[in-house]
């Protein structure tokens, strides 16, 4: 890959001239600088180094933002290698801000779309370094017009994700911080690094997504189970679908461009999800107005839909050991189908599988333990027990639904995607 | 876009060369100027922000007069007439010393001298002596080495041991980090001595955190260990040093265990520091300005400098006492610190001087004549001088205050008449640095914005208005047009044949006859011609011991106010400049005080809580930042916050001079603090 940033951790003093250089060069308005300084050990814990990472977009060869954008709002500038974001194509879904391990795309709540570093393509074209690299007063951030191999890129990547980032990092020499008189400070046992993770995704902000995914799961479960619905029921269910679709657009910065979400079926699970949802809706319409649709077709498309929803959150697997989570919509859907069909043993089996997943996550990633997930699982257990005790269906259904809502909220609360704010800290401690 | 060479005239070590891009008569772009070997990679974030500063909507662009408490525009003719009338009337009724002329370090340049020419023609004014920043250390160095100079900025690369004692270049002299990093990459060791764990300390092997104000004793303890272990440079001492034996006698009296207790530095770290200094050559000791802003500041610097002297670390590559390099100033007849001293031989116009360290209290006390009017330029004394609220009180009692300013600072807010000040791009001038050895031209690259007039033009018009004799005006003040300004600067350059405006326009020029390695000729312009560890002048001029020594700073109010207040500089401002710009505010949105984690726990204060910092002088409310590596017992508030932000630390500082050099002992201030609210 031609053109890349060179960053020397030993030379950076965190002065933020690069941030100012970028802001002025690109005429940015408050509040979203495209470049940030990420500081490890800002609290100054003795015995740990404090260092800074200056990061904007690293114009990755396998750019996660571009791959995941449902609206094809990113393109690659062939001459410079830059990943360019086109605001006029952006729907403001923020999915790229989840996907990027460097936090390069910045959502601007005023414009309703994402914006990001352009590699100063206008300068690079004229053989000038990007403004940030040109103006770094200590020479810590530099730019090379040469070639960087994927191996070199991965060997020095500032984050764990391997995406072919155009940055070559020179490692820190002093990895312990200066020797100090430790008697002056709190004993080390009282003074542990704050392991509280920064969360890019906040469940409270993503409530439209929680509602959307639960509604769709419910819809698929009903259509995929053998319960008999009155004729009018299918009309209501279609209304249900429309409502869910409307919910999903609520979190978009540019709602009128929602249709663009279909444009990247080739590589974005978000586009695929929307496409399969549309297919499912089409089947419902055919059933309502044209002809009977076979049950297996609903089941197939429905489960595919749930599967596609879950794949959206594969981004999070950078933090999770496996791509399975107990509160994924597919498992919620299977539980619901088993319940609606009163298949007690299948229900118990699926629940058991989900409990195992839950335990495993708590064991592997204790920092992702979550109260909502815990309560939700407890309610699922109650439902299983209740089923075997033959408690009234209606009561069980209520407990089950409440439990699944809890689990889904917990799922978003525990959702962790790559961010330099977490990854740099981890790197700092282990190296 | 057209690019011009220029240089930054702020009161900052780096004094960067840079190129400025002009388009459509506006400052558009700032680019590095690699010709300056000290600042080759480019200017800092403040320098970059000139693009905003020069074009800021908040800039004052025309004269403003206070009417019923609000500022309204007034045209130049009326403003000048008003000033001329006031000056005439005060002079007639009370004498010219009823006018206070106050100028500080906001913009450097040779043309600044024109102001004194004007005021002399007027008949003189009351002026201030002393300085807020660095004179104690300058005088200490001057007494010891004869002059203030050091190896070229990039020579630190050659050091095998670097000691940053009270200096944090990563924030205040960012370009010094370039040669430091080169030395470290080659395997040099670095020690930082500072009560704070500064950004610079992150690059060091060892951080020693003494109690503020005890640095002299730490240095003496190290000196004793070096002498006892015979790790001194005997040949160097024999040939170049006066008073070593007396110093040795004194130093051997130091009780190391007691020194460890008083400085708060454990014995093993004192020994470690001595071991490094005794075994690694060459050493560059970089002394900052903060720790000489104590009432024992001058003596402290003499003690530190003694470590260079006894280990022979002077006059060789990589071996350097690095405090201030005034070799670039090839123009001044009287250099700092002596230019700060009240001149006993001053003639009538300028015989009356008052100390800048005690500005407010002295203004209030002055009589015969009382101060009636003040003229302030290039300074913001209502924020930057100690006990600034008392200065405000004194200002409010004046009948007429003129402030020449670019922005609505705390001082401008108190003015009766504000005159819009030029910025660095609107008039050519010549500057030098106290860190890098270049003479530089900052060129005029745009016409003054709005109705802005450079100070020289204001004085020119005012001189006409006051009907000074034409030939006197011609001699003393340049005419306003560009050609006359350039001719004036050429005249200043004339005595130095190596320099010319044409040459300076092409980029920075190394000061003629400067030494790359300071004192490499081992000639010292002290009375004895040697390095004076023992200095008669120290006694006669300042009434301190002839030998470097440690005196505890005043501790009598320790019981009421147990915490030491430090007011260092931040990377985000030069004193009170730049903090008002948007690009800076985004990075540094609110004022805060930094306290240690242990102190915070004791007072149940959590990060981001609002706290009150107070003492007998005043109080401040601001957010708390908690630092796990700050020495307990210390409160840090960056200097340069404005009263308008509610956070000017000089609400707390006392007006007090340093032991020598007429500096300002800001850091003697003790405070207490408490929780105000959680948010």
pLDDT tens readout for residues A197-220: 677 888 888 899 999 999 999 999
Q: Residue B207's closest chain A neighbor by CA? A: A180
Instruction: Look up the CATH number of domain B144-325+520-542.
Output: 3.40.228.10
Mean pLDDT of B367-389: 97
**Residue A419 token pair:** 């961010």
E-state strands within B327-457 = 353-355, 373-377, 400-405, 417-420, 429-432, 438-442
Does residue A260 sit in the same domain as residue A387?
yes
The verdict on A139 and A225 lying in the same domain is: no
CA distances from B514 to B439, B490, B671 (A): 11, 21, 44
Model pLDDT for residues B613-638, shown as the tens digit of each residue? 999 999 999 999 999 999 999 999 99
Residue A427 confidence (pLDDT): 40
Which CATH number covers residue A143?
A: 3.30.70.20
CATH number at residue A368: 1.20.1630
H or E segment to which residue A361 belongs: helix A344-364
Say whether both A33 and A139 belong to one domain.
Answer: yes
Whether the CB of A172 is below 8 Å from some CB of chain B: the reply is no
The reply to whether A31 touches chain B by the CB within 8 Å rule is yes
pLDDT over 70 at A193, yes or no: no
% residues pLDDT > 90 (chain B): 97
Asked if the structure places residue A201 within a domain, the reply is no
Q: Does A83 touch chain B (CB under 8 A)?
A: no
A211 and A106 within one domain: no
Q: Which ipTM score applies to this complex?
A: 0.95
Residue A302 forms contact with B (CB below 8 Å): no
Q: Comparing A423-427, B101-105, B350-354, which segment has the lowest mean pLDDT?
A: A423-427
> A196 falls in which pLDDT band (50, 70, 90)?
low
Chain A interface includes B52 (CB < 8 A): yes
What pLDDT is recorded for position A40? 87
Task: Give a yes or no: residue A66 inside a domain.
Answer: yes
Specify whether A375 is located in the same domain as A242.
yes
Q: Are strands A51-55 and B610-614 parallel, antiparallel or unpaired?
A: unpaired
Name the one residue in this structure whose structure tokens are 């699970």.
Answer: A269
Interchain pair A173, B184: CB under 8 A: yes
pLDDT tens for residues B362-371? 999 999 999 9
Residues 320-379 of B with CB under 8 A from A: none
Q: Where are the alpha helices (DSSP H) in A225-320?
A: 231-249, 269-289, 295-312
Domain match, A247 and A366 both: yes
**Residues in chain B within 8 Å Cβ distance of A137:** 16, 39, 41-44, 174-175
Is the pLDDT assigned to residue A110 strictly greater than 50? yes
Kindly determine whether residue A183 and residue B171, on different chains, have CB atoms separated by under 8 Å. Answer: no
What pLDDT is stored for residue A267 in this prediction? 94
Does B136 have pLDDT greater than 70? yes
| Residue B17 in contact with partner chain A when CB distance is under 8 A | no
What is the signed CA dihedral for B640, B642, B643, B644, rounded to 10 degrees?
Answer: -170
CA atoms of B634 and B640, how far apart (whole Å): 19
pLDDT at B630: 97
Are A326 and A372 part of one and the same domain? yes
Q: How far apart are CA B331 and CA B131, in angstroms?
A: 20
In a domain, A182, yes or no: no
Tokens 């240690």 — which residue? B596
* A115 and A252 both lie in a single domain: no
Mean pLDDT computed over every residue of chain B = 96
Residues 193-252 of B with CB under 8 A from A: 197, 199-209
Instruction: Kindly state the average pLDDT of the residues A411-420.
Output: 86
Q: Which of A56, A50, A3, A5 is nearest to A26 (CA)?
A: A56
* Any A CB within 8 A of B633 CB: no
- B646 and A CB contact within 8 Å: no
Query: Confidence band (pLDDT; 50, 70, 90) for A233?
Result: confident
Residue A141 near chain B (CB below 8 Å) = no
* Closest CA relative to residue B623, chosen from B561, B566, B678, B580: B678
Q: Residue A419 — very low, low, confident or very high, per pLDDT cuts 50/70/90?
A: confident
Instruction: Report yes or no: B613 and B641 within 8 Å, Cβ to Cβ.
Output: no
Judged by CB atoms closer than 8 Å, whether chains meet at A138 and B628 is answered as no
Contact B352, B101 (CB under 8 A): no
Please indicate if any CB of chain B lies within 8 Å of the CB of A47: no
Judge whether residue A194 has pLDDT over 70. Answer: no
Q: Which of B177, B206, B573 would you mutate first to test chain A, the one with the most A CBs within 10 A?
A: B177
Report pLDDT digits (tens) over A261-273: 999 999 999 999 9
CATH class of the domain comprising B563-677 = mainly beta
| Whether residues A234 and A383 fall in one domain | yes
Chain B residue closest in CA terms to A182: B629
Residues 6 or more apart in contact with residue A222 via CB below 8 angstroms: A229, A237, A340
Q: Is B522 left (phi over 0), alpha (psi -120 to 50) or beta?
A: left
User: From the centroid of its chain, how far is CA B14?
Assistant: 12
> In this complex, do B178 and A139 lie within 8 Å of one another by their Cβ atoms?
yes
| Bridge partners of residue B172, in order along the sequence | none
How far does A43 lie from chain B, in Å, by closest CA?
6
Q: What residue of A is the nearest CA neighbor of B199?
A: A13
Residues A221 and A360 in one domain: yes
> How far does the CA of residue A421 sit from the closest CA of chain B (Å)?
17
Burial class (CB in 10 A: 0-12, 13-18, 19+), A199: middle
Taking only the tens place, the pLDDT of each residue in A366-383 is 877 899 999 999 999 999
Chain A residues lying within 8 Å of B582, measured CB to CB: 30
Last residue of a domain, one of A175, A192, A216: A175
Give the pLDDT confidence score for residue A154 in this predicted structure.
87
Q: Is B192 on the interface with A (CB under 8 A)?
A: yes
Residue A188: inside a domain: no
The answer to whether residue A180 sits within a structural domain is: no
pLDDT of residue B50: 97
Q: Which domain holds residue A80?
A: 2-175
Evaluate if residue A426 carries a pLDDT over 60: no
| Mean predicted confidence (pLDDT) in B408-433 | 98
What is the average pLDDT across A47-74?
A: 95
How many domains is chain A partitioned into structurally?
2
Convert the pLDDT of each residue in A290-335 to its tens digit. 988 898 999 999 999 999 999 999 888 766 677 889 999 999 999 9
Residue A338 pLDDT class (50, 70, 90 cuts):
very high
CB contact, 8 Å: B182 with chain A? Answer: no
Among residues A156, A175, A194, which one ends one of the domains? A175
Within 48-67 of A, beta carbons closer than 8 Å to B belong to 49-51
Contacts of B205 in chain A (CB under 8 A): 174, 178-179
Whether residue B159 has pLDDT greater than 50 = yes
Residue B432 pLDDT exceeds 60 = yes
The reported pLDDT for the residue numbered A430 is 29
Instruction: Tell whether A43 and A131 lie within a shared domain.
Output: yes
CATH hierarchy code of domain B64-128+337-346+365-432+438-510: 3.40.50.740
Strands (E), B127-253: 127-129, 161-165, 189-193, 206-208, 241-242
pLDDT by residue (tens digit) across B451-492?
A: 999 999 999 999 999 999 999 999 999 999 999 999 999 999
Q: Per-residue pLDDT averaged across A91-96, rounded?
A: 95
Choose the closest CB to A181 out of B266, B583, B628: B266
Give A57 to chain B, closest Cα distance, Å. Answer: 19
Quote the pTM value. 0.94
pLDDT for A35 equals: 96
Asked whether the bond before A234 is cis by omega within 30 degrees of 0, the reply is: no
Of A175, A198, A229, the domain-final residue: A175
Residues A211, A132 share a domain: no
Which residues on chain B are in Cβ contact (under 8 Å) with A185?
A: 596-598, 628-629, 632
Q: Does A24 touch chain B (CB under 8 A)?
A: yes
Q: Is A182:B597 a contact under the CB 8 Å cutoff?
A: no
CB-CB neighbors (< 8 A) of B16 in chain A? 137
Q: What is the pLDDT of residue A191?
A: 63
Question: pLDDT at position A428, please?
Answer: 36
Q: Looking at CA atoms only, how far is residue A184 from chain B in angstroms?
A: 7
Percent of chain B with pLDDT over 70: 99
Of B31, B175, B207, the CB nearest to A180: B207
Coil, strand or helix at A5: strand
Assign B555 a pLDDT band (cuts: 50, 70, 90).
low
């Amino acid at each position: 890959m031609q053109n890349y940033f060179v960053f020397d951790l030993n030379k950076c003093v965190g002065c933020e001239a690069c941030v100012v250089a970028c802001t002025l060069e690109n005429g940015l308005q408050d509040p979203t600088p495209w470049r940030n300084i990420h500081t490890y050990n800002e609290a100054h814990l003795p015995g740990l180094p404090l260092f800074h990472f200056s990061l904007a977009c690293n114009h990755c060869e396998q750019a996660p933002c571009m791959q995941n954008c449902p609206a094809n709002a990113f393109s690659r500038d062939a001459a410079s290698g830059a990943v360019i974001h086109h605001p006029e194509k952006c729907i403001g879904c923020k999915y790229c801000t989840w996907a990027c391990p460097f936090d390069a795309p910045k959502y601007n709540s005023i414009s309703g779309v994402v914006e990001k570093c352009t590699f100063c393509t206008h300068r690079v074209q004229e053989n000038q370094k990007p403004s940030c690299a040109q103006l770094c007063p200590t020479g810590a951030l530099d730019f090379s017009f040469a070639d960087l191999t994927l191996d070199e890129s991965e060997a020095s990547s500032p984050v764990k994700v391997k995406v072919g980032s155009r940055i070559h990092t020179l490692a820190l020499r002093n990895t312990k911080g200066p020797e100090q008189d430790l008697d002056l400070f709190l004993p080390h046992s009282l003074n542990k690094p704050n392991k509280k993770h920064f969360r890019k995704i906040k469940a409270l902000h993503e409530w439209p997504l929680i509602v959307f995914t639960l509604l769709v799961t419910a819809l698929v479960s009903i259509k995929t189970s053998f319960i008999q619905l009155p004729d009018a029921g299918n009309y209501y269910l279609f209304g249900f679908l429309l409502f869910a679709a409307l919910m999903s657009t609520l979190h978009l910065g540019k709602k009128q461009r929602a249709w663009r979400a279909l444009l990247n079926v080739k590589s974005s699970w978000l586009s695929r999800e929307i496409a399969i949802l549309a297919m499912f809706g089409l089947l419902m319409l055919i059933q309502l107005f044209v002809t009977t649709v076979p049950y297996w077709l609903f089941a197939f498309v429905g489960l595919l839909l749930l599967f596609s929803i879950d794949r959206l959150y594969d981004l999070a697997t950078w933090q999770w050991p496996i791509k399975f989570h107990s509160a994924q919509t597919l498992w919620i859907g299977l539980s619901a189908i088993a319940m609606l069909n009163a298949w007690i043993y299948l229900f118990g089996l699926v629940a058991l599988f989900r409990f195992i997943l839950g335990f495993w996550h708590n064991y592997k990633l204790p920092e992702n333990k979550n109260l909502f997930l815990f309560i939700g699982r407890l309610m699922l257990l109650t439902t299983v027990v209740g089923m075997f005790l033959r408690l009234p269906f209606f009561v069980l259904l209520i407990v089950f639904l409440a439990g699944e809502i809890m689990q889904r909220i917990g799922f978003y609360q525990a959702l962790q995607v790559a961010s330099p704010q977490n990854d740099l800290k981890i790197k700092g401690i282990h190296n | 876009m057209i690019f011009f060479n220029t240089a930054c005239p702020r009161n900052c070590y780096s004094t960067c060369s840079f190129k400025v891009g002009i388009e459509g008569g506006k400052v558009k772009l700032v680019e590095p100027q690699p010709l300056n070997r000290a600042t080759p990679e480019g200017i800092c974030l403040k320098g970059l922000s000139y693009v905003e500063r020069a074009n800021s909507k908040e800039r004052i662009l025309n004269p403003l007069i206070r009417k019923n408490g609000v500022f309204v525009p007034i045209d130049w003719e009326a403003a000048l007439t008003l000033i001329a009338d006031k000056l005439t009337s005060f002079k007639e009724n009370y004498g010219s010393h009823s006018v206070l002329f106050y100028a500080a370090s906001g913009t450097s340049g040779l043309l600044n001298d024109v102001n004194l020419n004007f005021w002399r023609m007027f008949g003189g004014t009351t002026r201030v002596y002393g300085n807020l920043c660095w004179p104690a250390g300058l005088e200490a160095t001057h007494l010891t080495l004869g002059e203030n100079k050091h190896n070229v900025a990039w020579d630190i690369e050659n050091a095998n041991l670097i000691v940053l004692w009270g200096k944090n270049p990563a924030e205040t002299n960012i370009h010094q980090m370039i040669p430091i990093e080169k030395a470290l990459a080659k395997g040099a060791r670095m020690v930082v001595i500072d009560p704070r764990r500064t950004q610079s300390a992150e690059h060091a092997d060892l951080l020693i955190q003494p109690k503020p104000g005890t640095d002299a004793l730490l240095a003496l303890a190290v000196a004793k260990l070096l002498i006892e272990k015979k790790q001194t440079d005997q040949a160097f001492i024999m040939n170049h040093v006066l008073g070593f034996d007396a110093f040795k006698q004194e130093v051997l009296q130091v009780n190391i265990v007691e020194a460890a207790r008083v400085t708060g530095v454990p014995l093993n770290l004192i020994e470690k520091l001595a071991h490094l200094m005794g075994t690694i050559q060459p050493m560059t000791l970089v002394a900052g300005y903060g720790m000489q802003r104590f009432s024992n500041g001058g003596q402290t610097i003499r003690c530190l400098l003694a470590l260079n002297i006894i280990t022979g670390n002077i006059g060789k590559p990589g071996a350097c006492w690095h405090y201030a390099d005034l070799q670039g100033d090839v123009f001044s007849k009287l250099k700092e610190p002596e230019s700060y001293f009240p001149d006993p031989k001053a003639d009538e116009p300028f015989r009356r001087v008052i100390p800048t360290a005690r500005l407010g209290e002295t203004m209030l006390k002055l009589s015969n004549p009382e101060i009636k009017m003040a003229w302030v330029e290039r300074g913001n004394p209502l924020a930057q001088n100690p006990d600034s609220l008392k200065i405000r009180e004194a200002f409010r009692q004046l009948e007429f205050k003129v402030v020449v300013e670019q922005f609505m600072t705390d001082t401008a807010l108190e003015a009766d008449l504000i005159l819009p000040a030029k910025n660095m791009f609107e008039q050519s001038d010549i500057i030098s640095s106290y860190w890098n050895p270049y003479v530089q031209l900052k060129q005029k690259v745009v016409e003054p914005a709005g109705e802005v007039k450079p100070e020289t033009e204001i004085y020119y018009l005012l001189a006409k208005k006051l009907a000074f004799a034409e030939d006197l005006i011609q001699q003393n003040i340049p005419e306003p047009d560009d050609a006359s300004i350039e001719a004036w600067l050429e005249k200043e350059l004339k005595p130095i044949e190596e320099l010319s405006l044409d040459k300076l326009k092409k980029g920075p020029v190394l000061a003629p006859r400067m030494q790359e390695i300071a004192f490499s000729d081992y000639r010292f312009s002290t009375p004895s011609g040697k390095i004076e560890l023992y200095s008669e002048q120290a006694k006669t001029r300042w009434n301190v011991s002839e030998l470097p020594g440690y005196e505890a700073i005043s501790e009598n109010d320790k019981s009421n106010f147990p915490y030491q207040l430090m007011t260092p500089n931040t990377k985000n401002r030069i004193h009170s400049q730049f903090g008002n710009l948007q690009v800076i505010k985004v990075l540094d949105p609110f004022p805060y005080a930094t306290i240690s984690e242990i102190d915070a726990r004791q007072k149940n204060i959590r990060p981001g809580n609002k706290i009150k910092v107070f003492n007998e002088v005043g109080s401040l409310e601001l957010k708390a930042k908690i630092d796990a590596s700050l020495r307990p017992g210390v409160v840090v508030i960056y200097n340069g916050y404005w009263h308008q932000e509610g956070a000017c630390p000089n609400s707390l500082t006392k007006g007090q001079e340093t032991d020598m050099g007429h500096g300002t002992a800001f850091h003697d201030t003790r405070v207490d603090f408490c929780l105000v609210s959680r948010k």
